[in-house]
Structure 1
Amino acid sequence: MTRSGHSWRAPRRLSRSRHTDVRGLRYHLREWGEPGAPIILLLHGGRDASGTFQFLVDAMEGDWHFIAPDWRGHGLTDRAPGGYWLSDFVGDLDILFEELFADRAAIVAAHSMGANVASLFAGLRPEKVSRLVLLDALGNLLDLSPVPIVNTLLRMLNAPRPGRSIRPYPTVPAMAERLRRANPRLSEVQSEFLAEHLSRPLPAGGFVWAKDITFERAFPTLHDAAEWGQCWSRITAPVLSLLSTDDRAHAITSDPAEVSARAAYFRNISLAAISNTGHNLHHDAPHAVACAIEAFLRDEPVLECSGLEPVVVI
């Protein structure tokens, strides 16, 4: 049952939680599967949380041990008083790898911001990543060179601040309805599950999104694809990039030439698109994404999975 008393379908695989200390923050880790099974590290995107990998986890056929942290300022992990810089996420991932894998290389599957962080890390620590799956992410959306410094600084100054009052939602189902308006592909059951795992109750009543509102500040990142490429070119692991068919303005997927240019930085990359998906392709088509990941890990043709399309490299 949800906190609002509204029921949702029981997941096929139940998750469990634990916490660990990462660079002064109490990090929340969600796990599915049995210890001893091959591990897949799942990294969520911005304004998201680990629990929203549930649909993908349930769609995977093999026996896996999934580990998914909530990034700093997200889900059940501590907020970061100093803000959110791209380098901080890379640093957090470095510490998580030391704790979770020691000297072993690991499989990583990651979405959006999490995938961008993972791709940088895989270039900086190539010996630590054995396989890398990127879900709708090949760097920042737009090249910003030269940097529009006035707009960047104003965005930082004008962004939400700690302590700002937030207008709450009355119920979790109301939040689920908001998610369905943003992504009509979500079923009612899916949207209720996501709303449950992306929200937190307020002492005075009502619910708000669990992310730190100050994450909406500038989130300084690399400025252009060439900077990302310096890291990508160092990756030694095979890479699978699964793209959505998202047609939103400035999405990488809307520019085949840009996709090709960015893919060229990687030594060993396979690209495929998932039909009829938006940016959250692991919500929209979890079975297709799961099939592609497991085929990739078995060195089998990814495009034989239902719902996948080839990406033409120009």
Structure 2
Amino acid sequence: MKPSRSEYLNIRGLQYHVRHWGDPHAPKLFMVHGWMDISASFQFMVDCLQKEWHVIAPDWRGFGLTERPQADTYWYPDYLADLDALLLHYSPDEAVNLLGHSLGGNVVGLYAGVRPQRIAKLVNLEGFGLPGTKPEDAPGRFAKWLDELLEKPEMRSYPSLDGVIARLQKTNPRLSRERAGFLAAHWAGQNDEGNWEILGDPAHKNTNPLLYRIDEVTACWARISAPVLWVEAAETDIWRWFGDNALMRAEIDRRIAFIPDVRTEIIPDAGHMLHHDQPELLAAAIERFLAE
């Protein structure tokens, strides 16, 4: 494996953990992970990159080794502001190559429309967005959020690292034990009782009380000026968030059409964690795109 190194920064009042791979003088490639994930999740894909890159990957607030804010809810505007501060720190004067997976893909898509001049090329790995909502959903959403605040959320713990490995392989059967072992050691840590807990703030599990307004999202996507590589996994299970698979396909295609300069790529024999399942194919697709 290519070695990585850790750095800690003060970003908007939080101690942020940032993982680096490669020569600091090489071209920069920023990567941001998804929900309940960590920066080390990109290790297998980084190992497959053929060109020398300086890969910079933070743990989002409340994940991995980054500090948790004193908050009940995590908001998309905070992710955008954190990303803006990180890019300003590492690349204040030049547009960047930016990649995001899942939640990270949603964040980078919004950011590229809000700060189009900051992005040279954008790679979106299954950042489809969320199912659309209606105004009449608001009362129930607020009520559910208030009810959840009455009970402190908790993360499941495991008596050993083997339990974490088994959990990862159950979620993704394509994951080898070797890769699951690497991820588990970064994805979880031991608590005071000696059990292993996922390094994610339990507050991430709470309902977001704000509605997901897809028209606002696509308005941001329509302002993206950088070329975009949109990557999907052939056997993704993301459809379960949308309901009917056929309806999901039509809706996702409708959303993609808002991006002015976009090309799509399907990675075969891969699920939603496509950077774990097919890192070689994914790395090759990304480098072809960045070389154009």
The TM-score normalised by the length of structure 1 is 0.86
Q: Which residue does 2:266 correspond to in 1?
A: 273
Q: Which residue does 1:79 correspond to in 2?
A: 68
Name the aligned partner's letter for residue 138 of structure 1.
F
Q: Which residue does 1:33 correspond to in 2?
A: 22
Residues 1:44 and 2:37 are matched in the alignment: no
- 1:150 CA displacement: 3.3
Q: Which stretch has the larger CA shift, 281-290 or 156-165? A: 156-165
Alignment of 1:181-220 (within 5 A): 181-219=170-208
Alignment of 1:154-169 (within 5 A): 154-159=143-148, 166-169=155-158
Residues 1:257 and 2:250 are matched in the alignment: yes
Alignment of 1:30-109 (within 5 A): 30-82=19-71, 83-109=73-99
Query: What number of residue pairs does the alignment pair up?
Result: 287
Match for 2:128 among 134, 138, 155? Answer: 138
* Conserved 8 A contact 1:155-1:217: no
* Conserved 8 A contact 2:153-2:205: no
CA-atom RMSD, angstroms? 1.9
Q: Secondary structure at the match of 1:80?
A: coil
Q: Which residue does 2:283 correspond to in 1?
A: 290
Q: Provide Cα deviations, 1:59-92, integer angstroms capped at 9, x if missing partner.
A: 1111000000000000000001123111111111
| Distance in 1 between residues matched to 2:12 and 2:287, nearest whole Å | 33
| Distance in 2 between residues matched to 1:160 and 1:46, nearest whole Å | 20
**Which structure: greater helix fraction?**
2
Name the aligned partner's letter for residue 266 of structure 1.
I
Q: Tell me, which stretches of 5 or more residues in structure 2 are unaligned?
A: none
* Conserved 8 A contact 1:55-1:286: yes
Alignment of 1:227-246 (within 5 A): 227-245=216-234, 246=236
- 1:99 CA displacement: 0.7
Q: Tell me, which stretches of 5 or more residues in structure 1 are unaligned?
A: 1-10, 300-314
Q: Which residue does 1:305 correspond to in 2?
A: none
- 1:217 CA displacement: 1.4
The TM-score normalised by the length of structure 2 is 0.93
* Conserved 8 A contact 1:161-1:214: no
* Conserved 8 A contact 1:161-1:213: no
Q: Which residue does 1:117 correspond to in 2?
A: 107
User: Does the C-alpha gap of structure 1 residues 251 and 281 become closer, same or farther in structure 2, counting only changes over 3 Å?
Assistant: farther
Q: Which stretch has the larger CA shift, 104-113 or 157-166? A: 157-166
* Conserved 8 A contact 2:155-2:198: no
| Distance in 1 between residues matched to 2:227 and 2:136, nearest whole Å | 32
Name the aligned partner's letter for residue 69 of structure 1.
P
* Conserved 8 A contact 1:144-1:224: yes
